[in-house]
Amino acid sequence: MSIEFKNVVKEYEEGFKAVDNLSITFEDKKLTILIGPSGCGKTTTLKMINRLIEKTDGEIVVDGTSLDEIDPIRLRRSIGYVIQEIGLFPHMTVFDNIAVTPRLMKWDESRIKKHVFELLDLVNLEPSDYAEKYPAQLSGGQRQRVGVARGLASDPKIVLMDEPFGAIDPINREKLQDGFLEIQSKIEKTIIFVTHDIREAIKLGDKIAILDDGKLVQYADTMTVVQEPANEFVEDLLGADRALKGLELVRVRETYVPGGKWIEDTGDCKVKKAKDFLVNEGRKFAYVVDGSKRLKGYVMLKQLSKASDEEPLKKYLRSIETIQPLSNLMEAMSLIMNTGLSSLPVVDDKERLLGILRFKDLVNLVGSYESSDEE
Ligand SMILES: Nc1ncnc2c1ncn2[C@@H]1O[C@H](COP(=O)(O)OP(=O)(O)OP(=O)(O)O)[C@@H](O)[C@H]1O
């Protein structure tokens, strides 16, 4: 579901606008970060979406319907909301905490039980160990996982998250972020995520909206914000050493080239097929996949040209390092350096080939950070 803000204003005291004429469309199934200095209006913007705060002026439209036309209580039940750990009820078990909204929505208990267990699995808490525990018996990181599960409990299409990992120490925070990325790639919700941590923003966001003084300063894909900060304010937010940070913070999925032409070997492929392919395509090497697109390795023209046409191709297959879409470009860079090839195959968790990550794109990226630092 997309969420469209049209000239939205929130005025607190006379003349003081916490949100000042904001127009922005949060896109369907994307994770959009709201970031900016303290007091810039992030939380106010977020809470206007579930009407915990009522706007003063303008319009907010969700999938064609104005929010003013939806009963606030019904609205809140249909939107997930995850905040820092104070959100859990201390006298309720983990199970009951997660089940709050489904019960309000009058789901039957067997459906609730199945769903709560699925959610605990999703956030990596073993249901049989954790369902009957109380919040005080959990670590901060575990409580926050329960908070995420609760935010997803009513199967909402929209989830609002207000600094959900803000109170967690840096090491556990990384783990929660990694886990959360996995979750988002599976559930594909429209998520609006408030943070003041630019590393978290770049790591998690599909898009980033930067606010200052209640106004929108920049709104773009994460990569664009990193490469082309709109002004000095955004540059300062990103920090000085972007060239290095950039590679560490950008994911393979943002940079690789999906698809491509590969050699398929279902078991009986001969050298000739691969040779013809390489010559026709004007390439020095090519990846080889099996019938299910799983990567088997690569072959090089230099070696095949000495082989006879009818030999089985598998004799000349060489294995290769692979990388997954959620890995960062720093990891990719060191793997590429090791292999000495001009690209790295990107595969999913079943080793199916998704596309390639080109060395030259990494080099360009570093170059672009460096040149924009000099300006
Ligand atoms: N109930 C209120 N009455 C008056 N002013 C308020 C009220 N709530 C928030 N404000 C002011 O509105 C501005 C925006 O607040 P908001 O909480 O949206 O900021 P924020 O960007 O989320 O900040 P932080 O990162 O510190 O949480 C701030 O200057 C804040 O002091």
Query: Interface pTM (ipTM) of the complex?
Result: 0.94
In a shared domain, residues 175 and 321: no
Q: How far is CA 89 from CA 92, 96, 136, 156, 193, in A?
A: 6, 9, 10, 20, 22
For ligand 1, say whether the CB of 229 is within 6 Å of any of its atoms. Answer: no
In a shared domain, residues 93 and 202: yes
For ligand 1, say whether the CB of 195 is within 6 Å of any of its atoms. Answer: no
Residue 44 Cα to ligand 1 middle (Å): 6
In a shared domain, residues 160 and 23: yes
- What is the domain-level CATH number for residue 301? 3.10.580.10
- Among the three residues 188, 205, 239, which one is the final residue of a domain in this structure? 239
Please give the pLDDT value at position 8. 97
Q: How far is CA 153 from CA 119, 149, 164, 187, 254, in A?
A: 7, 6, 16, 12, 29
> Residue 139 falls within a domain, yes or no?
yes
Q: Is the pLDDT of residue 65 over 80?
A: yes
Residue to mutate (ligand 1; options 14, 40, 46, 198; most atoms within 8 A of CB)? 40
Q: Please state the pTM of the whole predicted model.
A: 0.69
Question: What would the pLDDT profile of 15-53 be if each residue is shown by its tens digit?
Answer: 899 999 999 999 999 999 999 888 899 999 999 999 999
Determine the Cα–Cα distance for residues 215 and 211; give it in Å rounded to an integer: 5
For ligand 1, say whether the CB of 89 is within 6 Å of any of its atoms. Answer: no
In a shared domain, residues 319 and 182: no
Determine the Cα–Cα distance for residues 76 and 71; give it in Å rounded to an integer: 9
Identify any residues that bridge with 270 across adjacent strands, giving them in sequence order. Answer: 312
3-state secondary structure 296-340: EEEEEHHHHCCCCCCCEHHHHCECCCCECCCCEHHHHHHHHHHHC
Contacts of 186 (CB under 8 A, 6+ apart): 122
DSSP state of 131: T
For ligand 1, say whether the CB of 46 is within 6 Å of any of its atoms. Answer: no
> Residue 369 falls within a domain, yes or no?
no
Please give the pLDDT value at position 246. 67
- CA dihedral for 220, 27, 173, 168, sign (positive or negative): positive
Identify any residues that bridge with 220 across adjacent strands, giving them in sequence order. Answer: 208
- Among the three residues 213, 239, 265, which one is the final residue of a domain in this structure? 239
Determine the Cα–Cα distance for residues 204 and 202; give it in Å rounded to an integer: 6
Joined together, the tokens standing for residue 126 give 């073993």
Closest ligand 1 atom to residue 13 Cα is 4
> Residue 372 falls within a domain, yes or no?
no
In a shared domain, residues 235 and 309: no
Position 163, amino acid:
E
Position 126, amino acid:
E
Residue 197 Cα to ligand 1 middle (Å): 17
Joined together, the tokens standing for residue 6 give 């049209």
DSSP state of 85: G
> Residue 375 falls within a domain, yes or no?
no
| DSSP three-state, residue 37 | coil
Average pLDDT over residues 99-109: 90
Please give the pLDDT value at position 374. 43
> Residue 248 falls within a domain, yes or no?
no
Question: What would the pLDDT profile of 305-315 be if each residue is shown by its tens digit?
Answer: 889 999 999 99
- What is the domain-level CATH number for residue 73? 3.40.50.300
Number of domains, the chain: 2
In a shared domain, residues 79 and 226: yes
Relative to beta strand 215-221, strand 207-212 is: antiparallel
Closest CA to 227 of 120, 366, 334, 28: 366
Please give the pLDDT value at position 85. 58
> Residue 345 falls within a domain, yes or no?
yes
Please give the pLDDT value at position 242. 59
Please give the pLDDT value at position 167. 76
* Smallest CA separation from ligand 1 atom 31, residue: 39
In a shared domain, residues 195 and 321: no
- Among the three residues 212, 239, 266, which one is the final residue of a domain in this structure? 239
First to last CA, the chain: 39
> Residue 371 falls within a domain, yes or no?
no
In a shared domain, residues 353 and 235: no
In a shared domain, residues 279 and 223: no
In a shared domain, residues 99 and 198: yes
Question: What would the pLDDT profile of 195-217 be if each residue is shown by its tens digit?
Answer: 988 878 888 999 999 999 999 99
Helix (H) or strand (E) segment spanning residue 75 = helix 72-78
8 Å CB contact between 347 and 353: yes
Mean pLDDT score of the chain, rounded to an integer?
Answer: 88
In a shared domain, residues 232 and 299: no
For ligand 1, say whether the CB of 39 is within 6 Å of any of its atoms. Answer: yes
Q: Which domain holds residue 210?
A: 3-239
What are the start-end ranges of the H helices in the chain? 42-49, 72-78, 94-104, 109-122, 127-130, 140-151, 170-187, 198-204, 222-227, 232-238, 242-249, 252-255, 271-281, 301-304, 329-339, 359-374
In a shared domain, residues 31 and 76: yes
Residue 167 Cα to ligand 1 middle (Å): 19
Q: Is the pLDDT of residue 340 over 90?
A: no
> Residue 252 falls within a domain, yes or no?
no
